[in-house]
Amino acid sequence: MNKTAIEGFFATLKAANPSPQTELEYASVFELLAAVLLSAQATDVGVNKATRRLFPAANTPAKILALGEDGLADYLKTIGLYRTKAKNLYKTCQIILEQHGGRVPRSREALEALPGVGRKTANVVLNVAFGEPTMAVDTHIFRVGNRTGLAPGKNVLEVEQALLRRVPPAYLVDAHHWLILHGRYICQARRPLCERCQVRDFCDNPAPTMAGNAS
């Protein structure tokens, strides 16, 4: 995908969805961090189901610590790996209180030092909460980056770095939302819905159209 195609790709996505948002539900930076931490190997729908129960009862580090680790785990039973996630979130709350005055840290280094918070989670928090032009590469973005030719890479870091180089600055802050949504609903893993794709004209590997199949 060349520069002209990349510009058209993102201009089209922006026109269709000018202000893309994460599908995780949250009302504070801490709630966002907790939700993203819980979303590893889980769907946003599943995480939202759990946090709709958890956050009304405990939506700050202090309140989660007051639940106790077992009490926290009870709220997360509908999420895969819930015991490990409860342990990580509980320890994260301890660190936020002890080392950061109860506030979610704003640096990548400090975020990645929190249990259960890797580079992808840190990128989501930095982007969504603090408006930084980061690229949180999940399975959807990795697939879209490679399949379309937008940002080919052998691993998530290569795709992330390629996206940061290739996405025009005007689109960079919102780009990861557009790409996640595109991968989740259109450029799907099992069968991309190219017949519904608004950006197929810019893609390096669009599936044949129905007319093309007929010929």
**Residues marked as catalytic:** 120, 138
What is the Cα–Cα distance from 202 to 132, expressed in whole angstroms?
27
Angle at which helix 169-185 crosses helix 119-128, to 10 degrees, equals 120
Give the pair of three-digit tokens for residue 174.
Answer: 């919102």
Neighbour count for residue 14 (Cβ, 10 Å): 16
* Nearest by Cα to 64 from 112, 48, 74, 27: 74
Contact indicator for 31, 128 with CB cutoff of 8 Å: no
What is the Cα–Cα distance from 117 to 37, expressed in whole angstroms?
6
- Residues 92-126 as b/e (b if ≥16 CB within 10 A, e otherwise) read bbebbbeeeeeebbeeeebbeebbbbebbbbbbbb
Contact indicator for 82, 103 with CB cutoff of 8 Å: no
| Nearest-10 Cα torsion for 202, 205, 209, 213 | 160
Q: Which amino acid is at 188?
A: Q
